[in-house]
Chains A and B, each alone.
Chain A
Amino acid sequence: MKNGPLFFLGLVSAVGLSWAGIVVGTHGQLGRLTSYYDNGESQAYPAGLPGLAAQGQDVYRSLGCASCHTEQVRRPDFGSDQARGWGDRQSVARDYIGQSPVQLGESRIGPDLANLGARKPSPPSADELMALLYSGKGAMPAYRFLFHTHRIYGQASAKALLPMNAAMRPAPGYEILPTERAELLVAYLQSLNQSYEYPEARPAPAAKAGQAKEAAK
């Protein structure tokens, strides 16, 4: 190789091709994805994140939660995602159109959270999530800096943490209050819900999927 401009052209096309194929190609496929309007329920899915939850997503990003938790459920026959109760269907691209940044995560030191707000039989309550954040559990550290302990003046605050375990019992006359960040984070965690079945998310048996394609033609 001695032709500099030709070499440079090769470099440009190496990056350009992978960019065009992967980024532009996916954009063509997913870029115009909109929410799905369910006529029966007169509602669009995914429902946008409520204001508190949207701010909570930023707390989730800021603390780096995504370094231990994923937010993506794989299809029922791939891994144990369904058996662990993380979701009855796989996550699809439409689930994420309202989120930014999308934090799919790449490590499962802790459980998947994509459907935390739709856990069966019942999703964790705000009190339980606060207790988890305050005391930690197993490999999950305690995020004490999301809380502060106050002396009770007059009446105890309605927001004070319920003492769910021994570590959460403050000295008499004191109460543990969540900071705003803790409240936002819990609002976000409770909002995580991918239970709505989009047409593309329904697991179709292999034979029927073939027939459906035929019918669509």
Chain B
Amino acid sequence: MTTFTPAADSTDTVPADTASRCPLLLLLGSGLAWLLVSGVFALINALQLDSASFLAGCRLLTYGHIHALAETTFVYGWLGNAGLALSIWILGRLGGEALRATPWMSAGGLFWNLGVLIGVIGIAAGDATSYPLLQLPRYAQPLLLVSYGAVAISGVLAWTGRRRRVMYAAQWYAVAPLFFFPWLFSVAQVLLLWSPVRGTLQAVVQGWYAQGLWTLWAAPLALAGAYYVLPRANGKTLPAYDLAWLGFWALLFVGGWTGGRHLIGGPVPAWIPTVAIVAATLLLSHYLIVFLNLRGVFAGGSLAVRFIGFGLGAYFLGGIFDAITAMRVVAVATEFTYCDEAMRQLAYYGAASMILYGVLYFALPRVSGRPWASAALARGHFALAAIGLALLVFSLAMAGVIQGRELNDAQVSFASIAAHTHPWLLLATAAQALLLLGNLLLAVNFTTSACSSCCSATSREALAS
């Protein structure tokens, strides 16, 4: 039986980390900045749902613009930066060599953030593409594609140049998204923006891209972290590790087919949602295997493990809900409602982002060579994030259930649907405020920790000279 030995890098800092410190901190820091920006947008958006007149007079800040901005800054700004940085760091650690091509990583990181910034300005100016999860204006996208490639080179080199030929599960999950994102992104760009396909085929391509962005990019980025951190944090081997490859390939081969569940009843060939229903059910095998491998996380442990535990819980819950709401009898009540939003938040925020927080808490001391500045801020962040997310997903789901039930009753007017969902949407707004506050604590903690490590490095150099 293959066992997983966490001894590969038990030392807390290997020399590999000092060389890559700057680019990694650049990516992580800018990711956190976008996370805060996204939190502000999400809060504004929630307030707009509570009161339609909020900022309605501003042409840059319509509900549609803010919705696209919150989503774009979260996915491309926060998950893109932090997910890439952490997966490359993991690949470097497991590869056993110092990261190579770090100048490419820095340059790529700068241009990636420039691309996101151009996209944000473009969306506010009204240039969003209208495709969910691909709202970045056409002119911002090629830059993002190229700069992603520049950053990813480091990770790919760390993978091809690994000392140990056999790969760990964390390496599979970390390498895959490095390749997948450029493929998905370029195909979607060409087929939707540069040479658009005709008619509802656009919706099919968008659905395929959006699902790929989750199952082939965001989810593996997060799982790489979970598979890497857990055995190191609690010092135990992963149970049922010889099944892990099956879970990995199930996610890759089946996951990409589940996107059509958002098109149930829509003007597309009926086999697309049907295939998605089957795939969403088959994908439960992936969740089961990941649960078997990583169930140790629920025993608790350090703060990083608790974050990852919360994230994995959300991940499993999301997978089960995906399979349930893919069924046509359920979809008729959840489609086009806040339930969709609840599930997206559960996946991207509850699962991917919470796991990445955990990996970040584990990784930063090893990247910067200094412990976190404040344990209290970190604990505060966990409390706010956990409560905020539970509240957000629950209240959106409740609003969605009410909305779905009343939409299906033709006698209920839109005004009464709005009135009946209002209390839950207020709760969702409070949840967004908690999340923003939590992320603020993280940002303060990160900045002080990263600065102190930089200052100490400079002072050491000054002493040495």
Contacts and interface: CB of A to CB of B under 8 A. Distances in A.
B58 A68 contact: no
Interface string A163-192: 000000000000000000000000000000
B59 A145 contact: yes
B57 A4 contact: no
A142 B53 contact: yes
Interface residues of B, number: 83
Interface string A18-32: 110111001101110
B184 A30 contact: no
Interface in B173-198: 175-176, 179-180, 183-184, 187, 191-192, 196-198
Interface residues of A, number: 69
A136 B408 contact: no
B257 A18 contact: yes
A93 B199 contact: yes
A208 B118 CA distance: 55
A45 interface: no
A108 B337 contact: yes
Contact of A79 (B63, B253, B265, B414): B265
Instruction: Tell me if A's interface is mostly helix, strand, loop or mixed.
Output: loop
A146 to B, nearest CB: 8
B203 A104 contact: yes
B131 to A, nearest CB: 7
A65 B130 CA distance: 9
A103 B265 contact: no
A22 B267 CA distance: 15
A139 interface: yes
Given A2-B165, A96-B267, A141-B52, A66 B199 contact: no
B204 A23 contact: yes
A140 B197 CA distance: 32
B62 A63 contact: yes
24 contacts: A1-B166, A15-B184, A15-B212, A18-B256, A22-B208, A22-B272, A23-B187, A23-B201, A23-B208, A26-B268, A26-B269, A30-B268, A61-B130, A62-B126, A64-B65, A68-B64, A72-B266, A78-B328, A79-B265, A79-B408, A80-B409, A96-B267, A106-B262, A141-B62
Given A64-B64, A64-B68, A104-B267, 6 more contacts: A7-B175, A17-B256, A18-B212, A22-B257, A141-B62, A145-B59
